[in-house]
Amino acid sequence: MRSLLPGIFVVLSFPIWMWAGGRRLLVANLSSQAIQNAHADAENLSRMRDVAMIHSFARHGYLVSVPSSTRAYYLHAIPAPYRYCRPWTRLFLDRLSRQFYARFRQRLRVTSLVRTVGRQRMLTRINDNAADATGELQSSHLTGATVDISKHSMSEAERNWMRNVLYSLRQSGHLYAIEEFQEPVFHIMVYASYPQYAKGPNRKAEDSVVASSGEPSPEAEAQ
């Protein structure tokens, strides 16, 4: 979100029927970019200046490669130099996609992972809704902690499952998720604390509930 007008467009472009289920809306607002950048700064996450920096971070284990295709997800239109993310983001993607596949027998379509400043600048020239490449409102994709999952070809049941799961994890402080409509994706910045959540007690049992229903309780997710 780059200015007031795009922000207003996002809010007003929600389908009317969605307001009835407002509790689970992943609404973007004027503070969304600031919130993500505050978390990035608190976690000391560097922003990727160029592809050489991505490769350097990958060599040192700060970024990990993401396979182009697995049983539970596949990458769509992501060039090879940008098929990287933070280790905890890869863990999140692996777990979420397995749960989604177990529930729907469909793979998730991943459309964006890490970006460089140059790539983000290119996006701002062709997409008015793209976040800035620099400054206080720069895109969280530059950190490598963020993944975009396409809603393309998702059924309404699949979208609702995603909304429920992401809302619960956002409310319990493990990530920051936004449902975008101009670009039909779920934009998800995963926090570095996510691995501790994933290793929590009774997590396998909770995963089974999530995969079957998509309705984890916020109390259980917060444990």
The confidence score (pLDDT) of residue 132 equals 74
Q: Are 215 and 164 in contact (CB under 8 A)?
A: yes
Could you give the C-alpha distances from 178 to 57, 121, 199, 200, 211, in angstroms and in order? 27, 21, 25, 25, 21
Distance of CA 88 to the CA centre of its chain: 12
pTM exceeds 0.75, yes or no: yes
Residue pLDDT, tens place only, 27-85? 888 899 999 999 999 999 999 999 999 999 999 999 999 999 999 999 999 999 999 99
Residues 6+ apart with CB under 8 A from 117: 47, 48, 49, 50, 133, 134, 142
- For residues 134 and 121, give the distance between their C-alpha atoms in angstroms, rounded to a whole number: 9
Residue pLDDT, tens place only, 94-143? 999 999 999 999 999 999 999 999 999 988 787 777 777 667 879 999 99
Q: Are 186 and 148 in contact (CB under 8 A)?
A: yes
Backbone dihedral region for residue 173 (phi beyond 0: left; psi -120 to 50: alpha; all else: beta): left
The confidence score (pLDDT) of residue 17 equals 35
Containing 190, the helix (H) or strand (E) segment is strand 185-190
Q: Are 8 and 130 in contact (CB under 8 A)?
A: no
Domain positions in the chain? 4-10+22-221
The confidence score (pLDDT) of residue 24 equals 53
Q: Are 189 and 140 in contact (CB under 8 A)?
A: yes
| CATH number for the domain whose boundaries are 4-10+22-221 | 3.30.1380
Rank 26-35, 125-134, 149-158, 214-223 by mean pLDDT and report only the highest. 149-158
